[in-house]
Amino acid sequence: MKTRTSITSYEKKLIAAFKSFVLEEKNLKLDFRTHVYLENHYGGYPSYGYSDAEAVIDCMFEFFDKYHVDYSGRYNHSSIIDSLRTGTLSHFLSVTLAQEIKEVVFNAVNSEDITTVITSIGIFYDDDDTVEVTAISAIGESETFHVQTTDGLHRQDLNCWMTAPYGDGDGHDIHGDDYPFFDLGLIVEKAEQLVQNSYEIKWTKCSGLYLKVYSDKVQIVEENRNFINEHHSSGETEYSLVETFTDESDANKYIAELNNN
C-alpha cells in the first residue's frame, strides 16, 4: 500500500493555525522537528514530555470547539496521548484535524463576514407578523427560520421568537450559537423589511386612530402616544389593534361612526 508522504495545502494552513492556537493558549511552541514522539521505550526519537503531549491534546479539543466539531474522541484522552508514543505528532495532527474540520468550516470561522444567501422569504401562512425565511449558510447548509415581529420589528423585549422548526424539531427559540454559520441578523433584517412593506399606515380623521392597509384586509389601529421607538419604549408597542375589515371602505365607515358618536 502506498504511504502518503505529503500533506495538502489546506492541511498546512490548518496545522499553522493550530500551532498559533497552542502558542496562544499554552505558551507552547510546537516544532515537529523536536516534538516527534512522546517519551517512550520503543526507540522513537526525538521525544518530548508528557506535559507537552497533554497540553497539545487539550488544545486540540479546544480547537475543535472553536470550529464547532463534536469530537467523540475527547473521551479517550489518555489513550490518544499514549498513541503518540508510537506515532508522530505531526502525522496525528495533520490527519485528525483535517478529518474533523472541513475546509469550508475553517474558512467560514476565519472569515470576517458570514455569508448567508436568502433563497426564499414570505409571510408564514395567515400570520401577518411572522415571516418564513429559507437561507443557505456560509458552509452551504440550508435552513428555514420563522421570525416573529411586532409592528414590523423583531422585538426581543416583547418576547418575539425566532425558530428553526424543521431543523431542531421542537420549535424552541434559537440564538446565534445554535447556528454559527448563518447571519441571523441579516435574516431578521430581511424579515422585518418584508413585514414593513406588506402594509401601509394611513391617517384618519379620528384622532389617534390609523388604518393599517394590507393587500387583503384593513386594520384600524390605535397609536400609543407614549411610544418613542423600540429602544426607548421597552415593552410597549407602537400600535394596538382596534378592528379588522375586509376592505378600506368598511373601515372608513367605522371611523366615521366613531366621529359621529
Which of the listed residues 61, 78, 109 is the one where a domain comes to its end? 109
Question: Cα separation of 147 and 137, whole Å?
Answer: 17
102 occurs within a structural domain = yes
What's the pLDDT at 167?
65
pLDDT band at 2 (very low <50, low <70, confident <90, very high): very low
Which of the listed residues 109, 142, 167 is the one where a domain comes to its end? 109
What's the pLDDT at 1?
40
Verify that 187 and 127 share a domain, yes or no.
yes
What's the pLDDT at 223?
92
Verify that 179 and 220 share a domain, yes or no.
no
Mean pLDDT for the stretch of residues 217-233:
89
User: Which domain does 240 fall in, by range?
Assistant: 200-260
54 occurs within a structural domain = yes
Our separate counts of H helices and E strands in the chain read: 7, 10
Mean pLDDT for the stretch of residues 196-202:
93
pTM here?
Answer: 0.73
1 occurs within a structural domain = no
Express each pLDDT in 25-82 by its tens digit. 999 999 999 999 999 998 889 999 999 999 999 999 999 999 999 898 888 899 999 9
Verify that 104 and 13 share a domain, yes or no.
yes
Verify that 14 and 105 share a domain, yes or no.
yes
Verify that 104 and 46 share a domain, yes or no.
yes
| Cα 66-70-71 angle, rounded to 5 deg | 100
Which of the listed residues 66, 81, 109 is the one where a domain comes to its end? 109
Residue 229 has pLDDT above 70, yes or no: yes
